[in-house]
């Protein structure tokens, strides 16, 4: 298994690589949801005829872009920056109330302890805890052959939990509320980025009375043209606009990657009692995960072929639930043999003391009794930007990298990017450096690229390993699972790496 992962790393190196309700109130916005500039903004332009100038323009107001804004707002050196957030999503400019009895959304994220720590320090996590969410302290991973499994417990590393599952709308609203409650100098443009000029030679729309100092400052900025015909200037443009990033395209960043011949189907399901464990089973066509969401709800993320996903999206609820329960139980193959009955699996010799605690026995996941949301399908791919930074432009989150969802690490990599970039910007300010200088931004790239590539390599390696159904190889996979279950130092290392507490696993 290590050899397979190392080979994948080699290939990737070629890339060059909510309990209560709360409401998000209106922000200071430079435009309405219809894309028309506000009266205040129109009046300001009539008076000064200057294009608005910002220190940072964040293109993309999703979870990662808003997390960057929160991190900047929370630090003394960066909280005085003038920041523009550009995103045409209407949710950024309206009151958004989330109520405890709202139906659960199928789009969720598993947030690691490291990411939770970042969000706590920024003041955003308290808003998540006001709504539906679920901490989990146990995780079970097994495969369809019945040969191998592993159980992880937060107590193995002296922690209270392994992660927390929250709906994306809860995370996004929490970040919006955090920014709203700060005195951060932010302006939201509910518009799209249409074009970008990184080295404007002439300053159009600027009144002749503008001083040479102001013109020089504008000349040291990128010019962003927005979908309503207006423009702004920014010393640093951050592309946080997802896997189809317009910033990445306009800045000329190249990417390398591939599409998997797989789709993921996601939905929310309900049990008769609350689920407190994260479950993942590897099947011949891809993994199925059952993630606790709180209030007797769990989230399903099931990877399969495009044909299977289309069929399972359209079949009736009863049949779909039967197939889900089969996939999490005896479907495709037997249970691992180590159970509460006392039977040992064939790899139990890994454990030197020959004893198993109750927490290490294989358990059957709770039965699903109801479909609680729509079923959504999306294709899977791996993409990585060959570079994250150039003069005045930097990429974070899915704009820089998209990965397989089997470990739920995508948003955590994005939060790590945002946290790292906020610290690099603060460092530049402390040193009196232009925050758009490429040498400064390359420090962020050097910090994040190795960690991102390693995670991508591991997940891609797992995906490829389970695309092979061959007896001896199945046995080796099972041995790897059981080694992770019974060898305590290896188990602790895996938990620490998956929780975000260390950037690289020990075997690299």
DSSP string, 16-30: T--BS-EEEPPPPBS
Q: Could you tell me which of 258, 365, 267, 261 has the C-alpha nearest to residue 304?
A: 261
Taking CA atoms, 497 is separated from 252, 392, 398, 454, 508, in Å, by 33, 32, 20, 11, 12
Taking CA atoms, 91 is separated from 94, 264, 278, 414, in Å, by 6, 25, 30, 20
User: Has residue 474 got a pLDDT over 50?
Assistant: yes
For 124-158, the pLDDT digits (tens) are 999 999 999 999 999 998 888 887 788 889 988 88
List, in sequence order, every residue forming a beta bridge with 225; answer none if it has no partner.
Answer: 195, 231
Q: Could you tell me which of 503, 507, 413, 392 has the C-alpha nearest to residue 451?
A: 503
Helices assigned H by DSSP within 400-437? 410-431
Taking CA atoms, 175 is separated from 61, 123, 294, in Å, by 10, 9, 20
Residues 6+ apart with CB under 8 A from 279: 139, 140, 141, 289, 290, 291, 328, 365
Distance CA 256, CA 14 (A): 9
**DSSP reduced 3-state for 168:** helix
Residues 6+ apart with CB under 8 A from 373: 103, 104, 105, 106, 267, 268
Distance CA 365, CA 340 (A): 14
Distance CA 268, CA 290 (A): 9
For 90-126, the pLDDT digits (tens) are 877 666 678 777 888 999 999 999 999 999 999 999 9
User: Has residue 426 got a pLDDT over 80?
Assistant: yes
Distance CA 46, CA 508 (A): 59
Strand-pair category, 82-86 with 255-270: unpaired
Distance CA 27, CA 6 (A): 47
Distance CA 333, CA 39 (A): 65
**DSSP reduced 3-state for 438:** helix
User: Has residue 472 got a pLDDT over 80?
Assistant: no
> pLDDT-based confidence at 36, cuts 50/70/90?
very low
Average pLDDT score over the chain? 81
Bigger pLDDT: 379 vs 205: 379
For 46-88, the pLDDT digits (tens) are 333 478 999 999 999 999 999 999 999 999 999 999 999 999 9
List, in sequence order, every residue forming a beta bridge with 134; answer none if it has no partner.
Answer: 165
**Beta strand segments in 295-369, E:** 297-304
Distance CA 49, CA 209 (A): 10
End-to-end alpha-carbon separation of the chain, Å? Answer: 13
For the residues 286-305, what does the mean pLDDT come to? 93
Helix (H) or strand (E) holding 42, with range, is helix 39-48
The structure tokens listed for 257 are: 């990657």
For 60, phi then psi, to 5°, come to: 120, 110
Taking CA atoms, 121 is separated from 75, 126, 419, in Å, by 10, 10, 11
Taking CA atoms, 408 is separated from 12, 429, 470, in Å, by 20, 34, 27
């Amino acid at each position: 298994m290590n050899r397979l992962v190392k080979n994948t790393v080699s290939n990737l190196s070629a890339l060059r690589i909510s309990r209560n309700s709360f409401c998000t109130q209106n922000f200071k916005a430079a435009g309405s949801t219809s894309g028309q500039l506000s009266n205040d903004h129109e009046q300001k332009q009539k008076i000064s005829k200057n294009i608005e100038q910002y220190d940072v323009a964040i293109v993309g107001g999703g979870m990662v872009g808003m997390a960057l804004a929160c991190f900047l707002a929370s630090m003394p050196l960066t909280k005085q920056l003038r920041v523009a957030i550009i995103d045409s999503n209407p949710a950024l400019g309206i009151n958004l109330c989330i109520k405890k009895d709202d139906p659960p959304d199928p789009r969720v994220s598993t947030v690691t302890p490291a990411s939770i720590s970042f969000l706590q320090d920024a003041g955003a996590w308290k808003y998540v805890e006001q709504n539906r969410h679920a901490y989990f302290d146990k995780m079970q991973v097994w495969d369809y052959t019945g040969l191998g499994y592993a159980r992880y417990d937060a107590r193995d590393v002296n922690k209270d939990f392994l992660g927390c599952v929250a709906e994306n709308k809860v995370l996004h609203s929490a970040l919006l509320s955090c920014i709203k409650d700060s005195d951060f100098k932010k302006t939201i443009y509910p518009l799209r980025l249409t074009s970008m000029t990184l080295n404007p030679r002439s300053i159009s729309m600027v009144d002749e009375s503008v001083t040479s100092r102001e013109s020089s400052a504008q000349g040291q900025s990128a010019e962003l043209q927005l979908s309503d015909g207006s423009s702004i200037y920014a010393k640093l443009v951050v592309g946080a606009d997802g896997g189809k990033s317009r910033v990445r395209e306009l800045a000329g960043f190249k990417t390398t990657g591939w599409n998997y011949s797989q789709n993921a189907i996601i939905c929310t399901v309900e049990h008769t009692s609350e689920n407190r464990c994260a479950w993942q089973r590897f099947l011949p066509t891809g993994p199925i995960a059952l993630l606790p969401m709180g209030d007797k709800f769990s989230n399903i993320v099931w990877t399969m072929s495009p044909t299977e996903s289309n069929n399972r999206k359209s079949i009736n609820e009863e049949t779909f639930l039967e197939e889900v329960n089969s996939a999490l139980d005896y479907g495709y193959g037997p249970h691992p043999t180590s159970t509460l009955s006392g039977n040992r699996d064939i790899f139990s010799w890994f454990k030197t003391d020959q004893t198993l605690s109750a927490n290490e026995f294989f358990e059957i996941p709770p039965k699903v009794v109801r479909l609680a949301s729509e079923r959504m399908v999306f294709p899977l791919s791996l993409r990585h930007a060959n570079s994250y930074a150039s003069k005045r432009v930097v990429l974070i989150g899915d704009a820089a990298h998209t990965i397989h969802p089997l470990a739920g690490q995508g948003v955590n990599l994005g939060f790590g990017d945002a946290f790292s970039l906020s610290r690099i910007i603060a460092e530049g300010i402390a040193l009196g450096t232009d925050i758009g200088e490429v040498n400064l931004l390359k420090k962020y790239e050097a910090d994040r690229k190795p960690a991102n590539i390693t995670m991508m390599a591991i997940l891609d390696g797992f995906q490829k390993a389970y695309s092979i159904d061959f007896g001896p190889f199945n046995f080796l996979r099972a041995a790897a699972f059981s080694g992770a279950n019974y060898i305590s130092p290896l188990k602790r290392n895996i938990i620490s790496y998956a929780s975000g507490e260390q950037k690289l696993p020990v075997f690299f």
